[in-house]
Amino acid sequence: MNWTTFFALLARDAHVARRNLMSLLVQTMLQPLLFVFVFGKVMTQGGIMPESYKGMLAPGIMAMSMVMTGIQAVSMPLIGEFQFTREIEDRLLAPMKIGWLAVEKILAGMLQALAAGAVVVLSARLLLGSGVSLNFDRPLLLAAVVLLVALFSSSGGLLMGCSVGMTQIGLMFSMVLAPMISFGCVYYPWSVLKAFPVLQKVVLLNPLVYASEGLRGTLAPQYPHMSPMVVIAALAVTDALLIVLGLRQFYRKAIS
Amino acid sequence: MAIGVRTKDLRKVYSSPPPMAAGTAGFTMTGTRGPKKKDIQIVALDGLSFEVEPGEIFGLLGPNGAGKSTALGILTTRVRPSGGQAWIGEHDVWRQQVEAKRLIGVVQQRPNLDFALTAREILMFHGAYYGVSPPERARRAAELLDRFQLTERAGELVRGFSGGMMQRLSIARAMMHDPQVLFLDEPSTGLDPQTKLLLWEIVREYNRSGKTIVLTTHNMDEADELCRRIAIVDHGRVIAGGSPAALKQSIPGGYVLRLRFHQPPPELAERLGALPGVTEVRANGDSADLYADRGGQLIPAIVEVASALGAELCDVHISEPSLENLFLHHTGRSLRP
């Protein structure tokens, strides 16, 4: 394996991310921060939601931000690079097996998803103050969940970036990402869905459910949540599946 | 040491319209029974074989859709061959992709520059992908920017560049890692005459430094001007190959004389066809196209025949042996779109 080339490609992505830092931050972080403010601050201080809602919400928002960031960070450039500017061609010719370019994209997306998660944790502390007590007592479990969530987001981004056409980007948001967030147990724990038994089963197909529940289970275990082991198993299977499908689509796009 | 390029019986059949790596449209369609997508079979290459000698400039000449870009796609690891083999030096392109990629530089038909980077960064990162050391990268980038007259805009994102500037930068980028073989797919398409001459000069200069150049073109002048040898490609096969001069001489009656007469009698065409060196006459109303093995020397005889029959020769245009005539000869079709 040619690591020189691999790290040069990673350096290129880092350079571009640095250059677009402001728009990248606004693109991925503004919406979660607004959610934190409206749901965590306005609604609790306004008395509509109990104070404890903040702590339940923060891990969900973190999961959502990580997932959205990773998916967008990988898929949006790929859609443009494969279909519009074709600028990926130069990197496909780099002296390295082309599958590693997809791996590099996944790694770059993971790093951005992790950065997004960190920003949410910090801003939740700043914005929501004392009402949020995040639990860092189980660092290994937390690390495992966070890494699996990041991997889910960027490998999902790879699959979408190599499957969605330029003209379907709007549809990707409204038909895939919006329902995923709405039924991703971001704003409520999975257990409250027991009032909707069918829905409660159906949402298990949504990987964001495991991301939200996993982060809730590790960062705010005082709230109802799924067993972390179930979460890890489900995310591991999802990640493996997305990587296999994503790589397959990547090869299809890259080689005719 | 210079490196050669070889293909043997390359075949490529697309089961859907050829995607980006293949570039152009206009392939032969066969077996399109019914509307089912799976039945679509587009034969882009049909046993393409050619050999490029180390250190030469070699051209693949043919009309759009002949399979030139697909051939280049296979040689540059971007298209999977359906059959046959291709080598860069000793490396089988499909089986030893990484080794092959190290040896080649590629300029695609359509600019594919990194829109997120400036001109200088594009060169610097490209060098980094190939493991060129940072000081050497900076030196080469500065040199190429200067050579391609891009130094003034080196710090700008390439979004705002004109087509010609993008094309120049694409070529500079392909040379950045000093590849042994440079592939250029329709390099002068869309360039103004001045830039085209600059490009030709740069290609020749790169070739003089011992590098092998493979280019595709549907421009006969370009093939004639640049290439030491060419292969004429049509429907995915090589239909003729050799040096431009030898190829042009190979057609009987390489000259075409386009004549126009005042009131030509019907028997004129027949009499013209009987002149020495004339291989074919195609008469149409007032005008006649004479295919012959000589040009101006025929004029006195033509005038004599015409005036004997009471017709007056009013216009003559002589075209010398050309690759255009050659293509016409081999395929019965014009090379021009």
Residues of chain B contacting residue A89, judged by C-beta atoms under 8 Å apart = 20-21, 78, 106, 108, 112
Residue B93 near residue B74 (C-beta atoms within 8 A): yes
Contact status, residue B278 vs residue B292, Cβ threshold 8 Å: yes
If you search the block for the tokens 């909707």, which residue do you land on? Answer: A196
Residue/partner pairs of B89-98 with CB below 8 Å, 24 or more apart: B89/B3, B89/B4, B89/B5, B89/B180, B89/B181, B97/A97, B97/A98, B98/A2, B98/A95, B98/A96, B98/A97
Contact A8 B125 (CB under 8 A): yes
Q: Say which DSSP state A51 is in.
A: T
In terms of DSSP H, where are the helices of chain A? Answer: 3-19, 21-35, 43-45, 53-83, 88-92, 99-128, 139-161, 169-171, 178-182, 197-202, 207-219, 228-254
Determine whether A14 is exposed, middle or buried from the number of CB atoms within 10 Å of its CB (0-12, 13-18, 19+).
middle
What are the chain B neighbours of A10 within 8 Å (beta carbons)? none
Contact between chains at B129 and A89 (C-beta distance less than 8 A): no
The DSSP secondary-structure symbol of A173 reads: I
Q: How many CB atoms lie within 10 A of CB B123?
A: 29
Task: Give yes or no for a contact between B151 and B145, defined as CB atoms under 8 angstroms apart.
Answer: yes
* Contact predicate B233/B48, CB 8 Å: yes
Instruction: For residue B27, give the DSSP letter.
Output: P
Chain A residues within 8 A of B21 when measuring between CB atoms: 89, 255-256
With a CB cutoff of 8 Å and minimum separation 6, the contacts of B234 are: B62, B63, B66, B327, B330, B331
Least confident of A5-14, A113-122, A179-188, B276-285: B276-285
Distance between the two ends of chain A, CA-based, in angstroms? Answer: 24
Q: Which of A8, A91, A256 sits opposite B21 (nearest CB)?
A: A256
Asked whether the beta carbons of residue B22 and residue A256 sit closer than 8 angstroms, the reply is: yes
Give the residues across from B107 on adjacent strands: B184
Q: Which amino acid is at B290?
A: L
Bridge partners, B58 (sequence order): B214, B229
Amino acid A110: pLDDT: 95
pLDDT in tens, A105-122: 999 999 999 998 998 888
Per-residue pLDDT tens for A208-253?
A: 999 999 999 999 888 889 999 999 999 999 999 999 999 999 999 9
Does A161 or B309 have the greater pLDDT score?
Answer: A161
Banded pLDDT at A5 (limits 50, 70, 90): very high
Sign of CA dihedral B318, B324, B329, B335: negative
Residue of B nearest to A84 (CA): B112
ipTM higher than threshold 0.90:
no
Smallest CA–CA distance from B123 into chain A, residue? A90
Question: Beta strands B255-262 and B312-319: pairing type?
Answer: antiparallel
Q: Closest partner residue to B125 among A12, A85, A256, by Cβ?
A: A12
| Residues in a beta bridge with B118 | B157
Q: B214 vs A92, B178, B203, CA distance in Å?
A: 20, 15, 10
Q: 3-state SS of A10-50?
A: HHHHHHHHHHCHHHHHHHHHHHHHHHHHHHHHHHHHCCCCC
Contact flag B98-A15 (C-beta cutoff 8 Å): no
Q: Does B115 touch chain A (CB under 8 A)?
A: yes
Q: How many angstroms separate the Cα of A239 from the Cα of each of A31, A153, A248?
A: 25, 9, 14
Q: Whose CA is closest to B120, among B137, B104, B141, B99? A: B141
Closest chain B C-alpha to A98 CA, distance in angstroms:
9
Which tens digit of pLDDT belongs to each residue from A56-70? 888 999 999 999 999
Taking only the tens place, the pLDDT of each residue in A116-144 is 899 888 888 887 776 677 888 889 999 99
Instruction: Name residues of chain B where pLDDT drops below 70.
Output: 17-39, 251-253, 321, 329, 332-337
> Is the CB of B78 less than 8 angstroms away from the CB of A15?
no
Which residues, at least 6 apart from A32, have a Cβ–Cβ distance to it below 8 Å?
A: A61, A64, A65, A68, A116, A120
The reported pLDDT for the residue numbered B31 is 40
Q: Which pLDDT score, from 0 to 100, does residue B37 have?
A: 52
Tokens of A27: 């693109």
Q: What is the mean pLDDT of chain A?
A: 90
Length of chain B: 337
